[in-house]
Amino acid sequence: MSTRDRALGAFTGLALGDAFGMPTQSMSREQIAAHYGTVRGLRDAVDAQPISPGLPAGSVTDDTEQAVLVARLLLDGGGRIEPAVFAKALLEWENGMVRRGLADLLGPSTKRAVELLGSGVPPEEAGRGGTTNGAAMRITPVAIATPPDLGRLVDAVVAASSLTHNTNLGIAGAAAVAAAVSAGIDGAGLPEALDHAQRAAAAGAARGHWSAGGDIAARIRWARGWVRGMGTAELADAVAQVIGTSVAAQESVVAAFALAEALGDRPVEALALAANLGGDTDTVAAMCGAILGAHHGLSGLPAELAGQVLTVNSLDFAPLVEGLLGLRGQ
């Protein structure tokens, strides 16, 4: 399997997971069951969907759209994203969502950081409250553009994330996802890639402003060991009730790794299960999809489902991936 196939798999897996979770995002497990039964494939969003009511099956959300934005900014900047340019692009993205009548807007950490930057707060201070999963959900382009060398990778994660998520938790979560994806693109086996993610999370936790919260590296290590061998029902309860699926990085990022560990050889099952868990389902599934997509490659993802997502959203990841891999080779 080629590096290009794995990189395309990472970006496509992110979008596929995002689309799986779109109809159920911000809903409880009970609400999901009442409106959808059990989600096993791509579904239209019901009118009661609080974020994306009525969107057609296969539609993506902010996770994919902001990842595409980051990819384009990386390419335009030759591998660097200037804080002011990033903030302007994020605000323009949100304004576009408002014009489309959607409630999928900037997350709490990103919104506050952009507002602080606009009021004159220095870029290195704007993200000091960012402990959510916003940086992790859009980090895949950085992982494609950066080899898994730990020091270089964490530096790249910090550079792309600190404007909005300049905390130990925000950076650790993004570093974990980036490391798993980057190692997968290099051909590492899934256990090796997830091990590398734990090391990256530990390194990332030493960066940024300190915020209280469970250590993400330790929680990933614990969760991986705990969920091995669980059946689907037990796994769903474990992730939803104990690990957590909120926007907090120490919950949703860890949830994505738990699903990747338990269902790594069955990516569609992993993404479908994520969609049924309640909470930040689109982001949990998107992060899990990026990790498993890098492992299985585009050729290892179901062509019909992937094609539906690309068609519905008019996405073409090939030019972005080509450019990002060019940065990776520098």
Residues in the annotated binding site for Mg(2+): 61-63, 280, 282-283
The residue type at 252: S
Task: Give the phi and the psi of residue 248 in degrees, each rounded to 5.
Answer: -60, 130
Q: Which helix (H) or strand (E) holds 33?
A: helix 29-36
Query: Residues 193, 9: contact at Cβ < 8 Å?
Result: no
* CA distance linking residue 89 with residue 106, whole number of Å: 11
Residue 69: closest CA among 57, 84, 81, 58: 81
Q: Is 182 left (phi over 0), alpha (psi -120 to 50) or beta?
A: alpha
Phi/psi at 264 (5° precision): -60, -30
Radius of gyration of the chain (CA): 18
- Identity at 99, one-letter amino acid code: R
Annotated binding site: 61-63, 280, 282-283
